[in-house]
Amino acid sequence: MAKYKRISSSIVEATQFDFGMEDGVLAYELFSNIFIGKFGKGEPYPKVSLRPYHYNHLGQSEYFNWGDYLVKNENGIMQWVRKNDFEREYELMETE
């Protein structure tokens, strides 16, 4: 993970979500937005509207959008930050 400095001076590790990092997806029909089902990692995903999820440190599902950032704070807790919020609040310190 690359290191980022928060404008408020705290330093975190973060990575931008990429396809394949999710633990599964919720699938919805494209135009009616009707829920189809929950599909776990490794299962074939249907070609519909997909909402990815990831299990947090408590084992609960957290839902996020494609392109959001997974941030590990100073306490080691990982959380999702929306892409626009992250890019406004953090600047890259170094690359790996």
What would the two tokens of residue 70 be? Answer: 């997974």
Q: What is the pLDDT of residues 6-56, one digit of tens each?
A: 766 678 888 888 888 889 999 999 888 899 999 998 898 888 888 888 887
Contact 15, 1 (CB under 8 A): yes
Predicted pLDDT of residue 66: 82
What are the tokens at 83? Answer: 């892409």
Nearest residue to 2 via CA among 66, 90, 67? 90
- Partnered with residue 7 across adjacent β-strands are none
Query: Residue 75 CB: number of other CB atoms within 10 A?
Result: 6
Mean pLDDT of 61-87: 86
Residue type, 53: Y
State the pTM of this model. Answer: 0.67
* Backbone dihedral angles phi then psi of residue 89, each to the nearest 5 degrees: -100, -15
Q: Where are the domains of the chain?
A: 1-17+66-96, 21-63
